[in-house]
Amino acid sequence: MSRAFVREDRDEPPARYELPPREDPGYDQAAAWALIEGANRGDSLGAEAATGYRWGEASLRPHVEQILLHARRRRDDRLEQLAERFLNAP
């Protein structure tokens, strides 16, 4: 994972990620949002630990593609950038 997504000089408490139960059909979508949110906060490792998925997880691509469309509709450049980075991850 890129060091650009990890904040080591943290003064605030760790982020909390609200996720449905793992067996919930909406879990993967929520996990995709959590990973993007974590990257935006500089807490990719925390988001990965909370979701059980790694940055760039292939099974989450359809959900991140939807996030990308959402970002473009809202003209949210930062969200668009993070979604594109996720989709381009090895």
Q: Is residue 72 part of a domain?
A: yes
Q: Is residue 4 part of a domain?
A: no
How confident is the model over 2-7, as a mean pLDDT? 52
Q: How confident is the model over 7-28, as pLDDT tens digits?
A: 555 566 667 899 999 999 999 9
Cα gap 23→75, rounded to integer Å: 33
Q: Residue 6 pairs with which residues in a beta bridge?
A: 43
Per-residue pLDDT tens for 30-62? 999 999 999 999 999 999 999 999 999 999 999
- Residue 77 confidence (pLDDT): 98
| Residue 4 in this model has a pLDDT that exceeds 90 | no
Tell me how many domains the chain contains: 1
Instruction: Quote the pTM value.
Output: 0.84
CA distances from 35 to 13, 19, 27, 73 (A): 18, 11, 12, 20
In this structure, is residue 3 part of a structural domain? Answer: no
Residue 50 lies in a domain: yes
Domain containing residue 38: 25-88
Q: Taking Cα atoms as reference points, which of 54, 59, 30 lies closest to residue 44?
A: 54
Residue 7 lies in a domain: no
H helix runs in the chain, sequence order: 27-41, 44-51, 61-74, 77-88
54 within domain boundaries:
yes
